[in-house]
Amino acid sequence: MEDDLVDVPDRGGSGARNEPPCCGEGFVRNDADKGARSRFSLVCAFRCAWDGIVYAVRTQRNMKIHLGIAVLAVALGFVLRIDGASWAAVILCIAAVFAAECVNTAIESVVDLVSPEYHELARRAKDCGAGAVLVFAIVALVVAAVVFGPRAWALFFG
Q: Which residues are catalytic?
A: 101
- Give residues with Cβ within 8 angstroms of 114, minimum separation 6: none
Is 36 annotated among the ligand-binding residues? no
Is 108 annotated among the ligand-binding residues? yes
Is 47 annotated among the ligand-binding residues? yes
Is 37 annotated among the ligand-binding residues? no
- H helices of the chain, in order, are 34-37, 42-59, 61-80, 84-114, 120-157
Task: Check: CB of residue 23 under 8 Å from CB of residue 40.
Answer: no
Is 19 annotated among the ligand-binding residues? no
- Known binding residues for a divalent metal cation are 108
- Known binding residues for substrate are 45-50, 101
- Known binding residues for ATP are 108, 117-119, 126-127
